[in-house]
Amino acid sequence: MIIYIHGFGGSGQGNKAKILREIFENQSFIAPSLSYNPTLAIETLKEMISFAQKYEKVYLIGSSLGGYYTTYLADLFDIKAVLLNPSVNPTKTLSKFIDSAKNFYDDSYYEWNTHHIDLLKRYEVKDLKYELYMLLTQTGDELLPYKEGVERFKNSKKIIIQGGNHGFENIEDQIEDIKEFFDMV
């Protein structure tokens, strides 16, 4: 099973989720819409992974803040993960959204506060198991400095694509690399 973990303000109905759902239509694939509360999101994902592992091998794909969560979960469950333009320092990058954040699915707003920032600290992985991760990053990411991801995952498999954006343009071009990393070929 492949579990796609969306980013901050995203949903399981976002563009990347839809593309990946179509591409992996012949595999077990799920893209849940997660709570903006970090603890609720992580607990939901832990429950899903624990259940799914009883029946099949689980892989993770995480984008942006979802990449941060994915790093924590891959380490916790010792499973392979692909990180798309991951957030490596969300306590810093998401501080600018304190007071109000936008849900990109329905354009609603929700409260994002310092308590949520503090919750993120619980999920930082200090000593990475580099072999679990493949970093896919685009140098044109306008929201997160791609070099932070390159440095953080310096000993992991990496594909650095010139240009692009935070939404990770043309994810479909990387599917064979993802399948190979997941040993699905």
Where the chain has pLDDT below 70, the residues are 185
Neighbours of 182 (CB within 10 A): 19
CA pair distance 83, 55, nearest whole angstrom: 24
Which residues, in sequence order, are bridge partners of residue 2? Answer: 29, 59
Query: Contact at 8 Å (CB) between 151 and 160?
Result: no
Structural domain of residue 149, as residue ranges?
Answer: 2-181
Q: Looking at residue 101, what is its pLDDT?
A: 85
The CA-atom distances, in angstroms, between 36 and each of 44, 127, 135 are 12, 26, 24
Q: Looking at residue 134, what is its pLDDT?
A: 98
How many domains, the chain? 1
Please report how many Cα atoms fall inside a 13 Å half-sphere around the Cα of residue 130, on the Cβ side. Answer: 10
CA pair distance 52, 152, nearest whole angstrom: 29
Whichever domain contains 175, its CATH number is 3.40.50.1820
Global pTM value: 0.95
Q: Looking at residue 185, what is its pLDDT?
A: 63
CA pair distance 130, 48, nearest whole angstrom: 23
